[in-house]
Structure 1
Amino acid sequence: MNANVLARSGRGRARRAANGSTAEGAARAGLTARGVIYLLVGILALQIAFGTGEHEADRGGALAELSDKPFGAVLLWALGAGLVGMALWRLSEALFGVTGKDGHTAKKRLPAAARCVFYAFVAYSVLAFAAGSGGSGSSDQQSRDVTSRVMEVPAGQWIVGLVGAGIVVAGVVIAVQALRRSYHKKLKLGELSPRARRLVDVTGVGGGAARGIVFAAAGAFAVRAAVDYQPDKAKGLDDTLRSFADTPLGPWLLVCVAAGLVLFGVFSFALARWRRV
């Protein structure tokens, strides 16, 4: 058996493993972990809206909230492991293709690669926090620090502005796809009872729209920071959420967005149960 045959055989086995039960388990664990984070961030944002919040409404605040619970350390390690699973699932999609039509095209695989990098970073920050290394600091300070460093490089102001505009566009796309219920294409709809389908649609539409609004708002703050050449105007998740309370609608807009993030957490749990992987 020559080297080419062996290589093809090895790639075939890797592809089958990526599309098998191991990848499915990693995907479902990752979606569950994502749901926990969004659920906690949404609850923290609701507490802020009602003036009772003790933690920041971002990933760091969610981890701090989780660590205060009984068996908090175990929960943090489990959450980190789930996010590692999410990163590995996205890596398998980048390498071997995404489920669904045109799944093997670069248009589908490149976003999967980007998601892999993102979730690998999130998993690292959660595991570092669980290990006591403080791996998940304030999202607001992180955003300001990164913006400041990028603005120091040549054309940094343009880079920040373009990235911010890209985040705005991503937020709009996320919200529109949620409103159009595009997630139906990824679900095992035949396994959903009428009641489960209503739950998925309420959480998918409301949660996805809220998530898109938060993305778009954060991107808009980055664009403003670039235009004004003031890195401190960039906002992380916590400051972005708090900014909704400064609108004419007051804290009630924050309540609506925060409730939407809670819904997205529940929607992630639904995806962990019924998504096609």
Structure 2
Amino acid sequence: MNLSSISSHLPSTQPQWVKRFAKFGLVAKGVVYCLVGILAFMAAFEIGGSSERNLNKQGVFRFILDQPFGQFLLALVAAGLVCYALWRLTQAFLDNEHKGTDAKGIGRRLGYAFSGLVYGFLAYGSFRMVLGSRGNQGGDNSRQTLVRELLEKPYGQWLVGLIGLSIIGIGLYQIYRATSGKYLKNVRTSSIKTELKEMIIRSGKIGYIARGIVWGLIGYLFIKAALESNAREAGGSSSAFAFLEKASYGSFLLGAVALGLFCYGIFMFVRARYEVINTNS
């Protein structure tokens, strides 16, 4: 894929809308992850009859929709996710981050494009709910359908296994970003109040580690589905939460990961306030 040739046919970025879209998108992403963390924590300790089933982004959208003024609130979140998706796509195709066209740069830009597409589909699903469709009962079902179809293909088990390894790789990269401090690369930490800086930096590190753990568990479930040739073993975040819940001291493990995801959501608000948003292609 020649990203440079694609970007040459796109209009140049307008700094103000790129910044506004990025900030609004990061806030929306923060809201979603904070709610995922809260609902997962409630499920861990059975608060309010909550369950780890359907604890994914679609489940969060349904939760928002069930609140007073739910349609309006969900529409705001959906609009924010559209903004986030568009920001990621401008990073991919207009190369605002100046990643270049070497192998490493193309890899990073493809990652931005993938993120943009994922959040674009999430925004589409949330808008459908705003317009009256309750959506399917969870992202795990769609993943299991995909795995089932792949397992029916020649070398299907290998394909599913490779997907699982790729997902684990994403999880490990999230943990690497946390431990190396790269998650702070574009954040103006010098502008954060001194009394809050250490807490904010720590919350971001915990958040990225928790997110990496969830990605790693999802990848493990895909590999398990490949080894057992059973699509029902695959799943998304709700399956990962259920896996944790079944482990020894599962409630405490799930509770810890839930708090980490809440911290990740909080750090998205920090990024919205203090991140340097590059706008020049």
Q: Write the deviation string for residues 121-142 of structure 1: whole angstroms up to 9, x where unpaired.
A: 1111111111112335312222
Paired residues in the alignment total: 265
1:104-119 to structure 2, matched below 5 A, reads 105-119=105-119
> What is the DSSP-based 3-state SS (H/G/I as helix, E as strand, rest coil) of the residue aligned with 1:14?
coil
Q: How far is 1:14 from its partner?
A: 2.6
Q: Write the deviation string for residues 158-180 of structure 1: whole angstroms up to 9, x where unpaired.
A: 11110111001110110121122
- CA 1:245–1:96 in structure 2 vs 1: closer, same or farther (change >3 Å)? same
1:67 corresponds in structure 2 to 65
Contact in 2 for aligned 1:127/1:135 (Cα 8 Å): no
Q: Which moved more, 1:29-38 or 1:55-64?
A: 55-64
Question: In structure 2, which of residues 2, 11, 14 is the aligned counterpart of residue 14 of structure 1?
Answer: 11
Contact in 1 for aligned 2:62/2:134 (Cα 8 Å): no
2:87 corresponds in structure 1 to 89
Contact in 2 for aligned 1:150/1:157 (Cα 8 Å): yes
Is there any run of 5+ residues in structure 1 with no aligned partner, and where? 1-9
Instruction: Select the structure with the greater relative contact order (CA < 8 A; seq sep ≥ 6).
Output: 2
Question: In structure 2, which of residues 56, 59, 64 is the aligned counterpart of residue 58 of structure 1?
Answer: 56
Under a length normalisation based on structure 2, what TM-score does the superposition of the two structures give?
Answer: 0.88
Q: How far is 1:206 from its partner?
A: 0.6
Q: How far is 1:261 from its partner?
A: 0.7
Contact in 2 for aligned 1:129/1:136 (Cα 8 Å): no
- CA 1:248–1:189 in structure 2 vs 1: closer, same or farther (change >3 Å)? same
Contact in 2 for aligned 1:144/1:232 (Cα 8 Å): yes
In structure 2, distance between residues paired with 1:152 and 1:50:
39
1:31 corresponds in structure 2 to 26
- CA 1:273–1:131 in structure 2 vs 1: closer, same or farther (change >3 Å)? same
Is there any run of 5+ residues in structure 2 with no aligned partner, and where? 1-6
In structure 1, distance between residues paired with 2:116 and 2:160:
22
> What is the DSSP-based 3-state SS (H/G/I as helix, E as strand, rest coil) of the residue aligned with 1:15?
coil
- What's the Cα RMSD here? 1.9
Q: How far is 1:244 from its partner?
A: 0.8
Q: Write the deviation string for residues 146-165 of structure 1: whole angstroms up to 9, x where unpaired.
A: 21122222322211110111
> What is the DSSP-based 3-state SS (H/G/I as helix, E as strand, rest coil) of the residue aligned with 1:186?
coil
Q: How far is 1:241 from its partner?
A: 0.7
In structure 2, distance between residues paired with 1:127 and 1:155:
37
In structure 2, distance between residues paired with 1:13 and 1:161:
37
Under a length normalisation based on structure 1, what TM-score does the superposition of the two structures give?
Answer: 0.89
| Superposition misfits of 4+ residues, deviation over 6 angstroms | none
> What is the DSSP-based 3-state SS (H/G/I as helix, E as strand, rest coil) of the residue aligned with 1:110?
helix
- CA 1:47–1:229 in structure 2 vs 1: closer, same or farther (change >3 Å)? same
Q: Write the deviation string for residues 56-75 of structure 1: whole angstroms up to 9, x where unpaired.
A: 32112211211122211101
